[in-house]
Amino acid sequence: MKQAIEQYLGSKEIYFYWKGRVALYALLKVMGVQEGDEVILPAFTCVVVPNAIKYLGAKPIYVDIDLNTYNTTAEKVCEKITDKTKVILCQNTFGLSSQVEEIVALARSKNIYTIEDCTHGFGGTYNGKPNGSYCDAAFYSTQWNKPFSTGVGGFLLLNNLDLKESLVTVNQSIEVPKLKERFMLKVLQFVKRHILKPSTYWTMVKLYRWLSKMNLVVGSSQGEEIESVNMPEGYFKGMSSVQFKEGERNLKGLKNQLELRQKNAAVYTDYLKKKGKVFVDEQLNQNHSFLKYPLLVQKRDEFLDLAEGARIEMGEWFNSPIHPVQEKHELWDLDLSQFPNALKASAEMVNLPTDVKDPQVVLNFLDKNIDLVK
Ligand SMILES: *Cc1c(COP(=O)(O)O)cnc(C)c1O
């Protein structure tokens, strides 16, 4: 798996972790982020991103998103830079990066580090180079829902080699996943491979979500990660052999998967355009690997229930500017009123599945519920 990733990213500076968020934490630490520092990030992300910042005592500084790309712009990022800014995070949202070169140039001129959140984007490219090539470093996720899966997992790519020595030092304190955690992951992988059939999918998903909320399985986010900004015990862990094995298997299908995603996305764009609905601008498609296809709807919860009834695996990224947090945003230093675009997107967005064999099933569902589509 390591070799294939190295080859894809054209670098040997790849380091593996228990989850993508842990890779981000390592990078922030390597860049010297500490109490009193500020880290700029998009206000349309997963809560584990500001968590990693908070765990180091630094302050997340959010930037509203642009509603075409669901990413930040260099202009909006620039407004938030202060003399405390240590790092700027760019995000490859749903497989799309935007204005990364501009943001990197801006950051360099002010001696600020940059990290690209490529958790959605492994396999895709940005302006002719693999996603993650432009910033000082990038991190990737190999969780169930990400481009290829190791169960849970993640890795980082270091582009700025001046940081290597510091990374080696930081990695010395990495813990080995516990036997119990490795075993649970193995069970989940087995379930996913052998028991998760279309007929049992929804029951299993609900069970998995409930179990992970109760901290009974290795879920993608533990209860305390979405309820507090305290670092969970044993957070800073490496990747285990269970994960490498699973990744080895799943990485083989990545290229075909990517083609399928882009093909389906084109079908969705065509359809939404014909119906006069909001679609992903074709000008943005060249670099878009479409892990998910963003769709804006009215009555989001009702729409999701209808999708579930029709057995369509509709995504719900991001249902909050710091997904999936729905309350106490102030814990993460987030004042919702400052981010109208992110609020609109998170209130109205669902994601069409792009890895389906037959997109017509999805189109039929949309046809039936077209009144709810924006
Ligand atoms: C999934 C995700 C992460 C975290 O990845 P993990 O491997 O689950 O830690 C970070 N940022 C974004 C935008 C994500 O969607």
Contact 131, 124 (CB under 8 A): yes
Band of the pLDDT at 196, cuts 50, 70, 90? low
Please tell me the residue having the least CA distance from ligand 1 atom 11. 46
From the alpha carbon of 91, which atom of ligand 1 is closest? 13
**Cα-to-centroid distance, 146 and ligand 1 (Å):** 8
Contact predicate 287/121, CB 8 Å: no
- Maximal C-alpha separation, the chain: 57
Q: Is the dihedral of CA 49, 314, 256, 269 positive or negative?
A: negative
Closest ligand 1 atom to 145 CA: 1
Structure confidence by residue, pLDDT tens digits, 219-259: 556 678 999 999 999 999 999 999 999 999 999 999 999 99
The answer on pLDDT for 144 being more than 70 is yes
| Residue minimizing CA distance to atom 7 of ligand 1 | 20
pLDDT digits (tens, 9 = 90+) for 344-355: 999 999 999 999
pLDDT in tens, 70-115: 999 999 999 999 999 999 999 999 999 999 999 999 999 999 999 9
pLDDT at residue 343 tops 60:
yes
What is the model's pLDDT at position 199? 64
278-316 b/e (C-beta count within 10 Å ≥ 16 → b): bbbeeeeeebbbbbbbbbbbeebeebbebbeeeebbbbb
pTM surpassing 0.75? yes
pLDDT of 163 over the 90 cut? yes
Residue 289 phi/psi, 5-degree rounding, is: -95, 0
Other CB atoms within 10 Å distance of the CB of residue 223: 13
* CA-to-CA separations, 44 to 11, 48, 257, 273, in angstroms, rounded: 29, 12, 25, 25
DSSP 161: G
Ligand 1: distance of its center to the CA of 137 in Å?
A: 16
Q: What is the pLDDT of residue 208?
A: 72
Between CA 129 and CA 126 the distance in angstroms is: 5
Percent of the chain scoring above 90 in pLDDT: 83
- The pLDDT tens digits for 173-195 are 999 988 888 888 888 887 777 76
Alpha carbon distance 34, 57 (integer Å): 6
Question: Which of 204-213, 303-312, 333-342 shows the lowest mean pLDDT across its residues?
Answer: 204-213
